[in-house]
Structure 1
Amino acid sequence: MLASIHDVGPRFEGEIDRLAELLERRLGTAGFAMLVVPDHWGRHPLSADRGFQTRLRGWADAGVEIFVHGWYHRDMADHRGLAAFKARHMTAGEGEFLGLDERQAAARMRQGKALIEDVIGREVAGFIAPAWLYGEGALAALRRCDFRLAEDHWRVWDARSDAVLARGPVVTWASRSPMRAASSLAFAALARHTLPVLPTVRVAVHPGDVTRPALLSSIDATLARFARTHAPARYAALQEP
C-alpha cells in the first residue's frame, strides 16, 4: 500500500499535522509519502519558512518519502481542446503542469528539486504533478530532470525509463462541494471492496479533507481495509529487484 499527503507546505501546516497523525496511526511514521509544493499559489514560499523547513527535514529523517509537487500548484495557462476539459473538470485551477511547455516545466521541476533537496538533505523520491495532470511539455521535461519516480491517476512509473511500475486507480477524496464529496465517498467505498485484488493499492489525501468529518472517517476506513491485505510500503520499493 502506497499512501501520500498532497500539497505539503507552510500554507496547510495545521491540516498536514492532522493528516500525518491519521496516517501514522494506521501505517506508522515511515508508512507514507509527502508531496511538497515549494510556493503554494505564489503566496507561501517554503524558502522563507525556516520552521516548516525544519519540520520537513524531520519527517524525511524519520523515513517519510518526499516528492516534488509542482512549484506553485496553480494553473495559469490558457487551455484548449482536451486540456481545457481536464483543467475545467478534473481540478479547480490546480493543474499547474498541464499547460506548460517543456522549457517552463523543466525549469520549475529543477528549481523545486534543488530547493527541497537542500531542505531535507537528501534526494527527493520523485516528481508528481499537481492534480496528477501532465501536458506533453511536462512529460518531455520529466525525462530530462533526473527524477526517479512519477505518478498519475492510473499508474506509477520510472521517470528515467518510462517503465510502468504499478497500475490501478488512486483512491482520493474531494472536498470542494457536497456533490464531489459524496462522489468520492462512494468511490472509496467501492474501492475498499474491489481494489484489494491488485498487487499495489494507492491512497492520497489532501488538506481539504480535514474540513469534512465524513471524509476523514472514509480515509480511516480505507486505510484500515487495505492494511489487512497490503503492507505499507515506500514508493522506492517498486524499483527494487
Structure 2
Amino acid sequence: MKRLLLSVHDVAPCFESEVDRLADLLSGLAGGPRLAMLVVPDHWSRAPVGAAPAFQARLRGWADAGVEMFVHGWTHKDSAADRLGLSGTAALKAKHMTAGEGEFLSLSRTEAARRMRDGKALVEDITGRPAAGFIAPAWLYSDGAKEALVDCGFALAEDHMRVWQPGAEDRPLARGPVITWASRSTARTASSLAFAALARQALHGLQTVRIAVHPGDVTKDSLLRSIERTVTAFATRRAVSRYADLNLI
C-alpha cells in the first residue's frame, strides 16, 4: 500500500495558534486527524510545555483524537559553543540547512540521551501514551544522537531522506525526501515552492511520501496554497496513514 504521512513540526505553546491552523488544514485535507505532531519541550528555552497547563490539555486532546506525538528535541536550538566543535559535513549542514536550530547535530551520546529521555518523559506524562518516536530539530543528528535513540527506546526516528527503527538504520522503513517549505527568506520560499511543484509530479513512485509543515508556513499565503495543492495531489492517490502503520522490523 502506498502511504502519505503528514506532520506538524515545532509544536510548542509559543506557536499554539499557528499549530491550530496547520492541524485544521491537514485534518481537513486528510479527512480527520491523521497526522503527527512534533513537540518541542521548551522552544528556544522560552516556551516550556511543562509550565503551560492549557497547552498540555490541547496535546492530550489531540493525542486522544489519534494524533501521533513525537519528541522534537528539547529546545530546538543549538549554541555557538556547539557549532565551534563542528567540522566537515556537519559544519556545512549547520551553516546551510538550519538557522541555528540543529540542536542534536553536535551532541554527545550522553547529552543527547539526557535530553531525549527528559523529552520522552514529558510527552508521555502529558498524553498518557508512549511517544511515537524522536525526530531531531532540522532532521540533523550527530553520531552520538543516533546511538542515544537506541538507549532511550524510541520506536521510530526520521531524517530528511528516511524513516528508520533505531538500531536498524541500514534498513529504512521509508525512503525519499520529505516535502517541506521555508518561510524565512524570499529565496528559500521560492526554492521550496519549486521543489513542492516538482515533487507533486516526480514522487508518486515512492512507497511512502512525507509532508512536513512548520508554524512559519502560515505567514505566507503562497506556502499555504502550495501545501494544500501538494497534500491533495498525494492524498487522492494513496492512504493518509500513521507512522505506526509502517512495517516495524
How far does residue 160 in structure 1 lie from its aligned partner after superposition?
Answer: 4.1
C-alpha separation between the residues in 1 aligned to 2:110 and 2:206?
37
Letter in 2 for 1:189: A
How far does residue 83 in structure 1 lie from its aligned partner after superposition?
Answer: 1.2
How far does residue 105 in structure 1 lie from its aligned partner after superposition?
Answer: 0.1
Aligned counterpart for 1:69 among listed residues 61, 66, 72: 72
C-alpha separation between the residues in 2 aligned to 1:116 and 1:29?
22
How far does residue 35 in structure 1 lie from its aligned partner after superposition?
Answer: 0.3
Map residues 61-100 of structure 1 onto 2, 5 A cutoff.
61-76=64-79, 77-78=82-83, 79-100=86-107
Letter in 1 for 2:230: T
Task: Name the structure 2 match of 1:107.
Answer: 114
Could you report, residue by residue, the CA deviation over 1:78-124 in whole angstroms, capped at 9, with x for unpaired residues? Answer: 22222111001000001100010110000000000001100000101
The sequence identity of aligned pairs, in percent, is: 62
Aligned counterpart for 2:235 among listed residues 221, 227, 231: 227
1:148–1:160 CA contact under 8 A, matched in 2: no
Task: Name the structure 1 match of 2:53.
Answer: 50
How far does residue 144 in structure 1 lie from its aligned partner after superposition?
Answer: 1.1
How far does residue 71 in structure 1 lie from its aligned partner after superposition?
Answer: 0.2
1:150–1:158 CA contact under 8 A, matched in 2: yes
Letter in 2 for 1:226: F
Could you report, residue by residue, the CA deviation over 1:142-170 in whole angstroms, capped at 9, with x for unpaired residues? Answer: 12110000000000001243331010000
Aligned counterpart for 2:24 among listed residues 9, 21, 24: 21
SS at match of 1:34: strand
C-alpha separation between the residues in 2 aligned to 1:67 and 1:240?
16
Letter in 1 for 2:238: H
Are positions 1:167 and 2:175 aligned together?
A: yes
C-alpha separation between the residues in 2 aligned to 1:239 and 1:109?
24
1:29–1:64 CA contact under 8 A, matched in 2: no
Task: Name the structure 2 match of 1:138.
Answer: 145
62-71 vs 28-37, greater mean Cα deviation: 28-37
Task: Name the structure 2 match of 1:182.
Answer: 190
C-alpha separation between the residues in 2 aligned to 1:240 and 1:68?
19
1:34–1:66 CA contact under 8 A, matched in 2: yes
Letter in 1 for 2:78: D
Could you report, residue by residue, the CA deviation over 1:128-149 in whole angstroms, capped at 9, with x for unpaired residues? Answer: 0000000111011112110000
C-alpha separation between the residues in 2 aligned to 1:13 and 1:132?
22
1:29–1:63 CA contact under 8 A, matched in 2: no
How far does residue 30 in structure 1 lie from its aligned partner after superposition?
Answer: 2.7
C-alpha separation between the residues in 1 aligned to 2:22 and 2:220?
12
Unaligned runs of 5+ in 2: none
Give me the CA root mean square deviation: 1.0
Letter in 2 for 1:218: S
| TM-score, structure 1 normalization | 0.98
C-alpha separation between the residues in 1 aligned to 2:31 and 2:109?
38
How far does residue 240 in structure 1 lie from its aligned partner after superposition?
Answer: 5.6
C-alpha separation between the residues in 1 aligned to 2:32 and 2:16?
17
Are positions 1:122 and 2:129 aligned together?
A: yes
SS at match of 2:173: strand
Aligned length: 241
1:70–1:130 CA contact under 8 A, matched in 2: yes
How far does residue 231 in structure 1 lie from its aligned partner after superposition?
Answer: 1.0
Letter in 1 for 2:243: Y
Letter in 2 for 1:4: S
SS at match of 1:109: helix
Could you report, residue by residue, the CA deviation over 1:42-99 in whole angstroms, capped at 9, with x for unpaired residues? Answer: 1100000000000000000000000000000001112222211100100000110001
2:173–2:248 CA contact under 8 A, matched in 1: no
